[in-house]
Every structure is written in C-alpha cells, then in structure tokens.
Structure 1
Amino acid sequence: MTRQSSHTALLWIVAVGFFMQALDTTIVNTALPSIARDLHAAPLAMQSIVVAYTLTMALLTPASGWLADRFGTRRVYFVSISVFVVGSLACAGAHSLNQLVFARVLQGIGGSMLLPIGRLAVLRAVSGEAYVSALAMISVAGQVGPILGPTLGGWFVQSFTWHWIFLINVPIGAAGLYAVQRFLPHDTLHDAPPFDFIGCGLLSLCMVAFSLALDPPVQTHRGALSAALFTLAAISAFAYIPYARHRRNPLFKLALFREPNFSVGLIGNLLCRIGSSAVPFLLPLMMQLELGYSPLHSGLMMLPIAIAGTVSKRWIARLVKRYGYDTFLLVNTALVGASIVAFAAFSPSLPLFAEIVILAIFGACNSMQFAAMNSVTLKGLSKQDAGSGNSLFSMVQMLAIGLGVSIGGSLVQVFEGHFGSASLGFKLSFACMGVVTLLSGAVFRRLDSAPRTSAPTPAAR
C-alpha cells in the first residue's frame, strides 16, 4: 500500500469512529419516550441514560493520550471500537432502565477514546501541511452524525423498534474493526510518563458527585443527599489544587489558569453549554409528549438546527475578524439564550414556519458560538500547555452536556409538580435554561481584548 493510500485509509477509519460517536450522541434523543414506555419508566427518567454516556466520556478522555502512548494507537483504537460495539449490543438487549444505564456506561467507555485517539493517530501519521485538511475531512463525519441522528432515530422507532438505534452501530463498528486490522499500521510505542491516577480520581469524584447532587438516585432525603454530594464535589476540587501544585506532572497543570482567556473561556463554555445542551434532550420530549408529534416528525424537526449549524460555520471567521471575539460572543450569546427562551412559545397553535425559523436561528447561532468559544479558550495557550488544556476543555464540554440534561430534566419535574402541568413545566424550563445561557455573556465580558485579525478555525463541538 502506498503512503498516500495508507493516509486515506487512516482518515476514513478515524472518520467512521467519529461518525459513530457523534451519531450516538444525538440518535437517542428522539427515541426516549418509546424507550421509556417499553421499559416502564417515566420519560424524564431517561435523562440518566444520556448523562451516563456523556459523564463516562468526560471521565476517561484525559487518559486517552496516555493509553495510546502506553499500548499503541492501533491497539487502543481497536479496543475502543470493540467496547463501543459491545456496549451498543448491551443497550439493545437491556430490559430495564438500570441495565440500559450500565450498558450506556460501557458504550461511553469505548466512545470516549474514538475521537481523541483518532486525532492522535492522524497527527502522528500526517504531515503538518496536510493536517488541517485531514481534520477538516474528519470533522465532516462529526457534522453528518448530528444531522442524521435525530431523524434516523425517529425513523427506526416508528418503522421498527428503538433497539435499532443501537444495533446500527454493529455493522458500522464491524467495518471499522476490519479496516483497523487491515489498513492501520502498527505504530511505535512512545515513552509514556506516569499517569496521574490520583489527580484523575479527584477530578472524577468531583464531576460524579456534582452530577449526582443535581439528580440524587434516591427518593428519600434528597435534599440532605444533594448537600452532602455538593460538599464532596467541592472538597475533591479544592483538594486537587495543593496536590497539583506539589506534583511534578499533574493531570492538569495549574499554570493553565494563568492564561486569562482560558479561565474565562472555560467558565463561559460551561454555562453556555449547560443551557444549549438541554435543548436536544427537552425538545423531542416536549414535541412528542405535549405537541403530539410522532418520533419521526420530532426527528425531522431537529434538521433545521443541524443544517443551519453546518451552513453557519463558514460565517464565523469573517464575523470574528470584523467585530472581535468579545463583541461577537456578547451578541451571539444573547441570540442563543433568546432562541432557547423562544422554545417556550412552541404550541399546537404556533405556525410550523415560525417553529422552523426559531430552530434555524438557534442552530446557526449555537454552532458559531461553539466555534468562537473553542478558539478563544485555547488560542492563548503555549505549545507545551495546548494538549493538557485541550483535554481539560474536552472534559468540561462533556460535563456540560450531562449537566444540561440533568438540570433541564429536573426543572421540568419540579415545575410540573408545583403547577400540575407538564406543558408549563417544559415552557418554564426552556426559559430558565435560556437565562443560564445568557449569564455566560457576563462571563465573556471579562475576556482580554483579542486581535480582530485572528479568527477561529473550525473545531469539533
């Protein structure tokens, strides 16, 4: 096999892995009411299967680079796809909510390695000049997944059963495994520094405790348990600071936070993504449970978000170059937050055209928001800190998705219990999540002035 054909095969292998990971993040949402009925669970209780998947990926992302250095990218990538496929089969075979949550954790273990290990394999195999083009090709797979996911999930549920949203990963994964064995070369193992298991454990404990505190797993003494879990999360987070200060190679160096835009961008990302991440979870539920849409109809209604998001990526560089990061993020954050609040207006009497316009505005602004936030957060880091900063940033992204789903679902239950109306519960929850997004605008006001000539490069969400 020639060098060029070997690189092409590598890109296709990584693109397939990225596609599976991106598809599985969105395909589940439109199937949640059907899964709930089949497993005899409340639809809003399905938030646990989304949180389990995203939180698992957040916990394991920092270990991906070390595993690749320790065992080789080819071997780790093969195992990642295998675990993902086994987890998908376990999801399809689940007969209870608890079984499905466990299977989603297993699926998340495999999914957490697909994108970072794939990027690393491309970085090591492709020259610097071709690396940007290679990442652009891979990112296309990540864009196609969210476009197809909701509609494909709705079609599977309506035409077959919800089990097929997980079984679809089996043939795709099998093709990926064959391609890895056939085309991916054996890479040379790199000297891996000792992995910071203690630091990873402290941060993992913080994320798990904080997530569980928002949605305690028991029905009695929920307030006391939430308070205890919040306290545990705070203790583990603060314990990491002196630990990292005295360790030679901590998981994440505290020096990262000396770059002011990194700290501001990280907090702003967390708040903004919490609000926007609740949308893909709450919208299909509201459309099916309150507006009477079929699974396929609710899946098709997600298309304007994905399509507008893909089209708007070409605008971001010019807008940031003209107005600067600070002004752009302030205005665009307001638009994202306002469009989330506007989802509260969805009702049987609202014209379809109006719904599509709101969905498209959210999709376009949200996509540009991600690209600008990604760029402004990472662009000031040194080459030595870029890898560690990107890993921490990826953790925060996945954590925000889980928190958005947890908070959004919990708000619907609280408002429904208080007012006795599920419809009002959804409307008020969208209003609250929109306000959370708007709060991130206050954070972005603290950005250091960025040169107007700098523009973000397209980045994965």
Structure 2
Amino acid sequence: MQSTVSQLDPRTARLLPWIVAIAFFMQTLDGTILNTALPSMAADLAEDPLRMQSVVIAYMLTVALLIPASGWIADRFGTRRIFFGAIALFSLGSLLCALSTSLPMLVGARIVQGLGGALMMPVGRLVVLRAYPRSELVRIMSFITLPGLLGPLIGPSLGGWLVVVASWHWIFLINLPVGLLGCWAALRHMPDLRGPSRSRFDTPGFLLFGAAMLLITVALEGLGELHLPTMRVTLLLLGGLACLAAYWLRAARIEQPLFAPRLFHTRSFAVGIIGNLFARLGSGALPFLTPLLLQLALGYSPAQAGMSLIPLALAAMAVKPLAKPLIDRLGYRRILTSNTLLLGALIASLALVDGQTSTLQLIVQLSLIGACNSLQFTAMNTVTLIDLDNRDASSGNGLLSVVVQLAMGLGVASAAALLGGFSREFSGDEQILRAFQATYLCVGLLSMLAAAIFLQLDPADGRRARPLDVPPED
C-alpha cells in the first residue's frame, strides 16, 4: 500500500530528501573524481594508462545490468532494507577499491560498488515518488538533483588534488564517512515502503537483456583493452544482438515483461531512447578522454587537469534554468537536432587542442561543451518520458536509466578502442597527441549522426502532455 507525505512524521518528511541527496552526491562524486586519477592509478598498478577504461566500464555496466531489477527488489524486500544495503555495498566497494593492489582486484571492487550504485538512486527516487504528493514532486526532485550537479563540479579537481597531496586510494576512502552517515540515516529515517502488489519477476527476460548488454560491451572492449581477435569480437557482438532480439520477441508475448514493447508505440519515447543511446556516446567518452589527454599528451598534473574541467561543470549548471524556456519556445525537434549537431562539432573541435593551445581557448571549448551537454541531457530525458501514460511511466523511466548507463559505458569502450587503434597506427614524437586528436574527431562525428534520429520527431511531440517536469537523471 502506497504511503503519502501525510503518513510520514514531520521529521522524516523533512529529512528524507536529504538522505536521498546524500546517496546521489556519493554516486556522482565517485563517477567524476575517478577520471583524473586514472594515470596515477595505472602507474601504481604497473598498467598502461590507456588500458584503464575497464575500471570505469565495470561500474557502469554493473549498474546498467541491475537497474531493471531495482524496483522489484525494493517492492519485495522493502525500501529501508534495500536502500541501507545499497549504501553499505557502495561503501564496502569503495574500501575494497582503496585496498586493491592489481587491476583485476580493482575491477572486482568496482563491480561491488556497482551493485550498491544500481540500487541506491532508483530506490531513492522510488521512495520519493511514493512518499510525497504529486504537487511536491518537482520541488523535491530538484532538491535531490542539486548534489548531482555539485559532484561533477568538485569531483575532478578534488580527485586531482588528492592524488597530488596524498594518493589515489583517498578518492575511494573519502566515500566511507559519507557512507556511514547515509547508513545511519537510512536505518533511522527511511520509510519502509513496498509496492501495492507483488508481481512475478521476469527472470528469463532479465537474463536475456543482461546477456545482450554484457556481450555487446565486451565485444567493444575486445577491440580496445582486451585485444581480442576479430573473429571473437564478431561472435560476441552477434551473440549480444541475438540475445536482444530474443528478449524483445519474448516480451511481445508475455503479460508482464521487464520492459514492454508497447513503450515504443509512443514515437517520442522510441526516438528519445534510441537518440539517447547514440547521442551519449560522445558525452560518455568525454570524461574518460579529457583527463587522459591533459595529463598524458599535454603534461598537466592531476590537479591541473581536474581544475581544467571545472568550467565544463559550471557551464552545465548555468544553462539548466534556461532549458525549459528554450524547449517551450522552440520545441524538442529543433532543440535536439540543432544541439546534437553543435555538441558533436564541439567535441570534434577538441582535435585542434595541442601543446600550443592557450588555457583560455581550452576553457572556452569545455564551457561550450558543458552548456550544450546540459541542454542535451534535459531535452533527451524529458522527450523520452513526457508522452508516456501513467501505466508505462515507471517502466519507461527504468529503461531510460538502463540506456543512460549503457550508453556511457559504450562511449568509454568505443573511445578506448579508437584511442588504442590510433595509438598503434601513428608513430613519432607526438604519437599520443595525434591519437587523441583522431579519437576526438571520430567521436564528435559519430555523435553528430544522432541528429538524424531526432529529426524523426514531430514538431508537436512533447507539447501535448502536461507541463515540462525535468527528469532527475542528469
């Protein structure tokens, strides 16, 4: 039976958004603090810095695999128990990351972190949706997402500073006191909500969908870090596509699939999901590539590299309030088509960065990318969900969450594969720099192709629904 805010005591109603916000901050901080530390971690673990993408992808893929099950798990075992367990798992994974002495150990610890991360935010949002009336939802969600914007702002610079003054281990150890506070607050103040009815979990669908994502991601990894033969990569890719096809064929004939095919009968949802998948390849690659470019090719220190990414986050925060007026005035089709082309061109423009590039030019480029990214995320997320009816809203939001994580993981894997390939192709004193420049150019051009997907929107799509509520994904 669903609870409302009137059934919560005033203290819990006041503290609940803070508890969920703490979890969101931990997750976004961890996602951005790591990138500037990758070269130092590689040196300490005796690994090639260009082969460290598995540390990022392991977390993203674990989150993407488990998000579809998060709602059912919370309904089955209760939100308090699952939310507490999610924070505890995330904190345990952070401790194991700090204790890792090899790349395989670190990847395993990141998977443990991902198990917690996959449940932390979806369950937190689910509690808010069930505990507060609709009239309060936009205000509460806006409050919860604010720490998510602070994470990318302070993460890169904090990570670079910690590497310089201490060691890379502290980028994980810093999660422990926050995690302890979150565990205590969850046990004390998190309401124990469950779904109105227990439905059967679509286990075969979950396994088929998860296998598809895993095989496709490993296939892309095989082109990069794993250096798998072309035949094995082809088999993995075909196997993943076969699992995905089997999932959708099965979903079309059962009553309660993991994600119902009828979602794609709504054109704005179909365009938004497919557009998210391809448009985010560039955005997903950017946080992985840029700290490596600055440190490996341009000689920046970890602290300098982290500070250089602050304009990107500041511009993203500054543009957020402008997203709704722009979308209301121009419509989703115009905004997404033009902004996708502009964002791809800006990512490709980083191919012009070299040793002679001034700090001012770099700040301007990254600021423009941050502003376009912010508008892109808001428009893509909203157009995906805005035309869905209440029956499909939860399932559609779950699939969107999966696609966001998957696209970011694929972006890192694709960028790493391109970077590794170009590194072997080029030679000479500026081999690494030229490899980065070619990778940025390719990633930017691939991102621009997503504009053709958004052209399939009707000018009226998204305007017939209720007033714009920005989903709290980015």
TM-score w.r.t. the length of structure 1 is 0.97
Q: 2:401 aligns with which of 394, 408, 421?
A: 394
User: What is the match of residue 261 of structure 2?
Assistant: 254
User: What is the match of residue 382 of structure 2?
Assistant: 375
Consecutive unaligned residues in structure 2, runs of 5 or more = 1-6
User: What is the match of residue 112 of structure 1?
Assistant: 118
User: What is the match of residue 305 of structure 2?
Assistant: 298
1:263, distance to aligned residue in structure 2 (A): 1.2
The change in CA–CA distance for 1:225 and 1:124 in structure 2 (over 3 A counts) is same
Q: 1:357 aligns with which of 349, 352, 364?
A: 364
1:267 aligned to 2:274?
yes
1:89 aligned partner, one-letter code: L
Q: 1:90 aligns with which of 92, 96, 108?
A: 96
1:259-292 Cα distance to aligned partner (Å, 9 max, x none): 1121111111111101111010000001000111
User: What is the match of residue 327 of structure 1?
Assistant: 334
Aligned-residue Cα RMSD (Å) equals: 1.6
Aligned mates of 1:340, 1:188 — CA distance in 2: 44
1:116, distance to aligned residue in structure 2 (A): 0.7
Q: Is the 8 A contact 2:79 2:193 kept in 1?
A: yes
The change in CA–CA distance for 1:346 and 1:387 in structure 2 (over 3 A counts) is same
User: What is the match of residue 345 of structure 2?
Assistant: 338
The change in CA–CA distance for 1:72 and 1:232 in structure 2 (over 3 A counts) is same
**Which structure 2 residues correspond to residues 411-426 of structure 1 after superposition, within 5 A?**
411-420=418-427, 421-426=431-436
Higher mean displacement: 230-239 or 447-456: 447-456
1:5, distance to aligned residue in structure 2 (A): 2.0
Q: Secondary structure at the match of 1:315?
A: helix
Aligned mates of 1:213, 1:447 — CA distance in 2: 31
Q: 1:72 aligns with which of 73, 78, 101?
A: 78
Aligned mates of 2:390, 2:86 — CA distance in 1: 28
The change in CA–CA distance for 1:221 and 1:158 in structure 2 (over 3 A counts) is closer
Q: Is the 8 A contact 1:71 1:189 kept in 2?
A: no
2:208 aligned partner, one-letter code: L
User: What is the match of residue 3 of structure 2?
Assistant: none
1:335-355 Cα distance to aligned partner (Å, 9 max, x none): 111110111112221111111
Q: Is the 8 A contact 2:92 2:113 kept in 1?
A: yes
1:183, distance to aligned residue in structure 2 (A): 1.8
User: What is the match of residue 49 of structure 2?
Assistant: 43
1:319, distance to aligned residue in structure 2 (A): 1.1
Q: Is the 8 A contact 2:225 2:417 kept in 1?
A: no
1:184-214 Cα distance to aligned partner (Å, 9 max, x none): 2333564320111110110110000000101
1:110-162 Cα distance to aligned partner (Å, 9 max, x none): 01111110011112221221121111100101111111111111111011000
Consecutive unaligned residues in structure 1, runs of 5 or more = none
| Count of residue pairs the alignment pairs up | 461
Aligned mates of 1:105, 1:222 — CA distance in 2: 26
Q: Secondary structure at the match of 1:426?
A: helix
Aligned mates of 1:242, 1:309 — CA distance in 2: 40
Aligned mates of 1:84, 1:231 — CA distance in 2: 33
The change in CA–CA distance for 1:267 and 1:384 in structure 2 (over 3 A counts) is same
User: What is the match of residue 132 of structure 2?
Assistant: 126
Q: Is the 8 A contact 1:90 1:100 kept in 2?
A: yes
The change in CA–CA distance for 1:5 and 1:436 in structure 2 (over 3 A counts) is same
1:430 aligned partner, one-letter code: Y
1:381, distance to aligned residue in structure 2 (A): 1.1
Aligned mates of 2:463, 2:243 — CA distance in 1: 41
Taking every aligned residue pair, what percent have the same amino acid on both sides?
A: 43
User: What is the match of residue 169 of structure 1?
Assistant: 175
User: What is the match of residue 211 of structure 2?
Assistant: 205
The change in CA–CA distance for 1:171 and 1:372 in structure 2 (over 3 A counts) is same
User: What is the match of residue 241 of structure 1?
Assistant: 248
1:450 aligned to 2:460?
yes
Aligned mates of 1:299, 1:163 — CA distance in 2: 17
Aligned mates of 1:226, 1:177 — CA distance in 2: 42
Aligned mates of 2:53, 2:212 — CA distance in 1: 20
Q: Secondary structure at the match of 2:331?
A: helix
1:266 aligned partner, one-letter code: I
1:450 aligned partner, one-letter code: A
Q: Is the 8 A contact 1:333 1:441 kept in 2?
A: yes
Higher mean displacement: 72-81 or 322-331: 322-331
Q: Secondary structure at the match of 1:215?
A: helix
TM-score w.r.t. the length of structure 2 is 0.95
Higher mean displacement: 127-136 or 58-67: 127-136
1:140 aligned to 2:150?
no
Q: 2:165 aligns with which of 159, 170, 176?
A: 159
Q: Is the 8 A contact 2:86 2:120 kept in 1?
A: yes
The change in CA–CA distance for 1:322 and 1:40 in structure 2 (over 3 A counts) is same
Aligned mates of 2:228, 2:91 — CA distance in 1: 38
The change in CA–CA distance for 1:9 and 1:204 in structure 2 (over 3 A counts) is same
1:309 aligned to 2:316?
yes
1:247, distance to aligned residue in structure 2 (A): 1.2
User: What is the match of residue 429 of structure 1?
Assistant: 439
Aligned mates of 2:328, 2:16 — CA distance in 1: 34
Q: Secondary structure at the match of 1:278?
A: helix
